Structure 1
């Protein structure tokens, strides 16, 4: 089943009459992420790299190009997406937040 959200994008949702079934593909890994990083691919401006990290270290001393301190992230997973996929992900998250997020988190968004 799918429903249309405010942007006109179909959002696929499960309900009692139409459950969503998933299967784990070979080499599938589930990771716990505390945060995300985003950046555009250096070679293709239509591709965005989304990385999920579990921990970070601040004030790492480095001696490269005059930088004194850096931040290091333990990356757990990375996804490469084009802009259409990113917009679809945003619509999916907006819909899920609207339907399921606890009130204290929704209040922080507004």
Structure 2
């Protein structure tokens, strides 16, 4: 597990069944900077911000592609689709001392207070 969490030492994460997000964001962890993560579960575990593709929208596109293949389309003939919908989440408890513009807060999909 610790090998998957770059920057997390063996004593903090290894072998205890914790996810990387929990290990990196738990209280008391010596963090020297603010980071933005690609997955929203990081914010739920105490990270400052996440910005990445909306997984539910990406799943719908994946199922649509799979449906086409199951109906006989060749996978090589299907267009490559990039994410079109993105998810922004901000944790204001972690953002203490950082002034975020109101437009950024208004555009966030979720603001944790």
Do they superpose with TM above 0.5?
no
* Shorter-chain TM-score range: under 0.3
Hey, which of these two has a bigger chunk of strand by percent? 1
Hey, which of these two has a bigger chunk of helix by percent? 2
Q: TM-score, normalised by structure 1?
A: 0.21
